[in-house]
């Protein structure tokens, strides 16, 4: 039978088997990843001509600064296989190296971009991973739109989560501003951070208040994520110029003004929260003390606590004094989370010592692991239930 006839047959019957379709398009049906009953995971890739295939998974302990990896084994059909130990419930990312060429899994089109690299993704449920799944609960809406930042003289892209029911109520909602790290942009939290899934699930469980979550782009030289701006399909950079020079902190009121004029929100301190990871933790710390009567809820995730050149921007003047003002103005929550092996652990310890000395209260969470999205998803899941209560 000619292929064209077969394709017409597919259209006509609409029920032809997956195998037959794959036969038409010349594909071998390889299942990868396969999550086994014992929560081990089997990976497969067809590479008959390869001499070595390795798997890099974010559950493997890194080797120095290199990712951990494991070797796959080849069978007589040229299919390479590797099965993990049982894994804890979580969201995991991975990629392959085939004869030293980094590649995603050709059998798994589900990927997330982290800075300049794509990683395949899978979730193991029955535990923490369930927080990150799309489940059968009411869903919020996720909008990518543009706002004017007069302070930066720029149209800028922003990602906004509105909770289930927002469109059909008259209610006014609180707002969490959620900031990404170096190399990230307005796509980072929604994709890598699973914000909409975490919020949908926590709200459905009655654990978190319905809230709007605003995911900005913290790179002040950039209008939008790579590929989403007039700059075109540029290569994402780990660190752009000017991201930590104070300009984002100075002009953050542009974001708040936009949100509070465009959304049904309670526009007061008691209904504003700000949280950020790494560079976004740096932004969060400085924004919340530089605008010291704006947020009742502040959360630093693996924050890049580090000295700044005070001459670069007025925002870096009198850090201790403005923290004291923030403390004296009062707040409901100042939250610090960090992993024990994070390269910023020591800097955060010193920062906590300073807060202790000042008598500035905070809640503290110390987790295993380092500077990872695995931790940041946990931190978001931890703090969301503490907000606006």
In the range 170-199, which residues lie near a copy of itself by CB under 8 A?
182
Q: Is 229 in the site for a copy of itself (CB under 8 A)?
A: yes
Q: Which of 143, 294, 278 is nearest to 218 (CA)?
A: 278
Nearest distance from C-beta of residue 357 to a copy of itself, angstroms: 23
Judged by CB under 8 A, the residue of 304, 315, 323, 384 near a copy of itself is 304
Q: Strand 79-83's sheet: what is its strand order?
A: 34-35, 41-46, 79-83, 73-74
Q: Which stretch binds a copy of itself (CB under 8 A): 5-13, 265-273, 291-299, 326-334?
A: 5-13
The C-alpha torsion from 34 through 38 and 40 to 41, rounded to 10°, is 0
Q: Which stretch binds a copy of itself (CB under 8 A): 41-49, 55-63, 68-76, 352-360?
A: 41-49
Q: Which of 104, 266, 267, 355 binds a copy of itself (CB under 8 A)?
A: 104
Give the footprint of a copy of itself on residues 269-288 (CB under 8 A). Answer: 279, 282
Task: Kindly tell me the number of DSSP H helices and DSSP E strands found in the chain.
Answer: 10, 18
- Contact between 1 and a copy of itself by CB under 8 A: the answer reads no
Of 4-12, 292-300, 317-325, 326-334, which part binds a copy of itself (CB under 8 A)?
4-12
Angle at 79 between CA 78 and CA 81, to 5 degrees: 140
- Shortest Cβ distance from residue 279 to a copy of itself (Å)? 7
Q: Which of residues 335-354 bind a copy of itself (CB under 8 A)?
A: 343
| Residue 331 beta carbon to a copy of itself: minimum distance, rounded to whole angstroms | 26
Three-state secondary structure readout of 107-163: CCCCEEEECCEEEEEEEECCCHHHHHCCCCCCCCEEEEEEEEECCCCEEEEEEEEEC
Structural contact between residues 251 and 151, judged by C-beta atoms closer than 8 angstroms: yes
Distance CA(284)–CA(28), nearest Å, equals 49
Please identify which residue in 244, 255, 256, 299 interacts with a copy of itself, judged by CB under 8 A.
244
Query: Does position 127 bind a copy of itself by CB under 8 A?
Result: no
377 phi/psi in degrees, rounded to 5 = -65, -40
Among the candidate windows 12-20, 205-213, 264-272, 324-332, which touches a copy of itself by CB under 8 A?
Answer: 12-20
At residue 45, the 3 state secondary structure works out as: strand
Q: Between 245 and 329, whose beta carbon lies closer to a copy of itself?
A: 245
């Amino acid at each position: 039978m000619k292929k064209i006839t077969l394709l017409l047959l597919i259209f006509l019957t609409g029920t032809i088997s997956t195998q037959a379709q794959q036969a038409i398009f010349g594909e071998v049906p390889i299942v990868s990843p396969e999550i086994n009953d014992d929560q081990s995971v089997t990976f497969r890739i067809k590479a008959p001509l390869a001499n070595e295939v390795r798997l890099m998974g974010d559950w493997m302990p890194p080797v120095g600064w290199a990712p951990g990896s494991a070797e796959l084994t080849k069978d007589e059909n040229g299919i390479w296989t590797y099965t993990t130990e049982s894994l804890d419930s979580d969201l995991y990312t991975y990629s392959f190296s085939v004869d030293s060429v980094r590649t995603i899994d050709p059998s798994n089109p589900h990927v997330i971009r982290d800075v300049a690299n794509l990683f395949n993704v899978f979730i193991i449920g029955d535990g923490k991973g369930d927080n990150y799944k799309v489940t059968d609960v009411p869903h919020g809406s996720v909008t990518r739109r543009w706002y004017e930042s007069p302070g930066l003289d720029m149209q800028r892209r922003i990602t906004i989560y509105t909770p289930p029911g927002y469109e059909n109520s008259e209610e006014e909602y609180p707002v969490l501003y959620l900031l990404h790290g170096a190399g990230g942009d307005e796509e980072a939290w929604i994709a890598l951070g699973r914000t909409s899934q975490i919020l949908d699930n926590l709200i459905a469980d009655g654990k978190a208040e319905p809230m709007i979550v605003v995911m900005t782009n913290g790179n002040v030289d950039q209008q939008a994520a790579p590929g989403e701006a007039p700059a075109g399909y540029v290569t994402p950079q780990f660190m752009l110029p000017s991201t930590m020079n104070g300009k984002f902190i100075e002009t953050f009121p542009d974001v708040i003004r936009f949100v509070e004029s465009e959304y049904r929100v309670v526009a007061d301190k008691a209904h504003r929260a700000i949280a950020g990871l790494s560079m976004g933790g740096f932004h969060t710390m400085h924004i919340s003390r530089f605008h010291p009567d704006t947020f009742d809820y502040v959360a630093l995730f693996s924050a890049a606590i580090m000295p700044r050149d005070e001459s670069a921007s007025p925002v870096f003047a009198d850090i201790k004094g403005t923290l004291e003002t923030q403390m004296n103005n009062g707040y409901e929550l100042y939250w610090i989370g960090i992993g024990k092996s994070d390269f910023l652990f020591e800097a955060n310890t010193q920062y906590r010592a300073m807060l202790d000395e000042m008598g500035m209260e905070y809640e503290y969470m110390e987790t295993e692991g380092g500077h990872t999205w695995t931790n940041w998803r946990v931190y978001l899941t931890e703090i969301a239930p503490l907000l606006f209560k």
